[in-house]
Homo-oligomer: A and B are copies of this chain.
């Protein structure tokens, strides 16, 4: 029984100059984990023959499965396909099935004439198995070397995912005798990483060697993850569930959720289970809380809407914040968010509401109010909690923190109310 390891190689100069953030790798890693395969490493290299070649040598010598994304497009900077052809000692041939598919895409969907450059997308090395790409013109390719399988896919996320779902993941049980990888994750709030570590020191020391504990701190919240690998699923899950319960009991006072869900999903599920609704009145977050609440499928059940009052005049007109209040204590104040939350609760006729107003930076500070000062109000029909925060980060992070803390305050209110 051996562990099956994979490497991920992402190709593209844009990854090395920081022009794009690589989201493919984490998706692939998650999918492989679920299929029982451990990821050994992830490498990003440029559109450079020598570097890609070297990365292939390394990956093939170290792991059982190599997943490559990028460099399969129709333009001159896409060099992955000819390189793979050379690397595996093949020659390029036209693949009729791919050509038919590409032709169809141009006729039926793009409704444009196909040019030679598009036709060449259907050429593949004769030493690969073609993996049909229903979602685009560049096919996936499967190669084998020294018992390692190497799969090349386009970098376009939904094309890569389609190939993974249809050609890679379903075949893993046929290709390898994998074990099982299981994770359990919980989220805590209100306790720092080092204090959490002290609290669960004995638990951590007593963990069996095949179970790993990881700390994932993220600005006032810490995620704890137990990971395990084993050949038999049932005993693995039994051990893990038992330990996870111990862990939960150790941190009960700080527990937000015992699932690997983001805060807005935790709030959404509480509301869905209670058949209750929420609305937001946002100034400094400019719609970000509404976006978080609505981005997951099923949100129309509990999210009714928002008033984004970025300008003060909108706070007056749509949220009835008195002009007097804005002139005296200002938009970033207890009075303002209290009025905002009551107004939106009434206007939207929801069970709960969130209101936020703050200074996200870099500008906007005054003598009395620093960048990062935020007032947050959450309310139900009969309760209202108002709290101020002082964040010390950059604009993006201040917006993120305002949203997460607002949602966490609401979570507390919902749980208390039931």
Is A77 interfacial (CB 8 A cutoff)?
Answer: yes
The verdict on A214 contacting B47 (CB below 8 Å), with A198-B117, A291-B287, A305-B318 known, is: yes
Among A156, A260, A300, A313, chain B packs the most CB atoms within 10 A around the CB of A300
* Measured CA separation A212–B48 after assembly (Å): 12
B residues near A311, Cβ cutoff 8 Å: 300, 303-305
* Measured CA separation A104–B217 after assembly (Å): 21
B residues near A282, Cβ cutoff 8 Å: 287
Q: Which positions 267-317 of chain A face chain B at CB distance < 8 Å? A: 280, 282, 285-291, 293-300, 303-311, 313-314, 317
Is A358 interfacial (CB 8 A cutoff)?
Answer: no
Dominant SS among interface residues on chain A: mixed
Pick the 9 closest A-B CB pairs, nearest first.
A286-B294, A287-B290, A287-B287, A18-B29, A18-B30, A306-B308, A18-B26, A305-B314, A42-B44
B residues near A27, Cβ cutoff 8 Å: 18
- Besides the contacts A18-B29, A286-B295, A287-B306, what 12 more A-B pairs have beta carbons closer than 8 Å? A16-B41, A75-B197, A77-B214, A118-B194, A157-B397, A294-B308, A297-B361, A304-B313, A305-B314, A307-B307, A307-B318, A308-B308
B residues near A183, Cβ cutoff 8 Å: 17, 19
* Measured CA separation A230–B121 after assembly (Å): 34
Is A192 interfacial (CB 8 A cutoff)?
Answer: yes
| Pair A227/B13 contact, Cβ less than 8 Å | yes
B residues near A49, Cβ cutoff 8 Å: none
Residue of B nearest to A58 (CB): B58
Q: Shortest distance in angstroms between A117's beta carbon and chain B's nearest beta carbon?
A: 5
* Measured CA separation A77–B222 after assembly (Å): 14
Q: How large is the interface on A (under 10, 10 to 19, 20 to 34, 35 or more residues)?
A: 35 or more
The verdict on A294 contacting B305 (CB below 8 Å), with A17-B39, A74-B193 known, is: no
Task: Give 22 CB contacts A-B under 8 Å.
Answer: A13-B214, A16-B42, A17-B39, A19-B216, A25-B44, A41-B45, A41-B51, A47-B214, A58-B58, A74-B193, A74-B194, A74-B197, A77-B214, A78-B215, A117-B194, A287-B288, A295-B396, A297-B361, A297-B395, A304-B311, A313-B349, A318-B347
